[in-house]
Amino acid sequence: MLYCKAIFGRNLSVKQGGSLSVFCFVDEVLEVKKNESLTASFTLRGDEEFLQDHFDGFPVMPGVLLLESLKQAASKLLEFSEVFKTAFFRLAAAEEVKFGQFVKPGNNLKIFVKLLKREETFVFLEGRIDLVSETASPKKALTANFVLTPVEI
């Protein structure tokens, strides 16, 4: 068994080689402004299962998983903000999704999400993922506006 310290503060067991798989795309929460925004970091190590076939000879993080990174960071913001009684959310919509740089093994990501508004059970957010390094200025990997809604488990 592998264990992943999920962004929800719980240890989730993951069966290696089985059908259950959990990817955690938030390594660390860097800053939280309750009910406003959250900044987190993630490093693509290179041994992630999804890189094995995306793409042969040119491994990059799939765009849908970049969007998942924003969702996970936003879920953490909502958990800190105590907006809902659950820490689990699903993506209800994504708009104005714009991709920039490829995310390759060894890249460090800065994930930023900002709460825009709430309408009933829908939470509207904007997010940005940048590639960061000590030697160069940040480069955009993804920007998007998206909507989350809680999932009761």
Over 2-55, what HEC string results? EEEECCCCCEEEECCCCCCCCCCCCCEEEEEECCCEEEEEEECCCCCHHHHHCC
Q: What is the pTM of this model?
A: 0.86
At which residue do the structure tokens 């506006």 appear? 145
CA-closest candidate to residue 69, choices 15, 20, 128, 14: 128
Q: Is the pLDDT of residue 120 over 90?
A: yes
User: Which residues 6+ apart lie within 8 Å of 143 measured at CB?
Assistant: 96, 97, 98, 100, 126, 127, 128, 129
Question: What residues are labeled active site?
Answer: 54
Res 13: pLDDT: 44
Residue-wise pLDDT tens digits, 2-49: 224 443 444 444 444 433 347 899 999 999 999 999 999 999 999 999
Is-contact 24 3, C-beta < 8 A?
Answer: no
Residue 153 has pLDDT above 90, yes or no: no
CA 84 to chain centre: 19
CATH superfamily of 25-150: Hotdog Thioesterase (3.10.129.10)
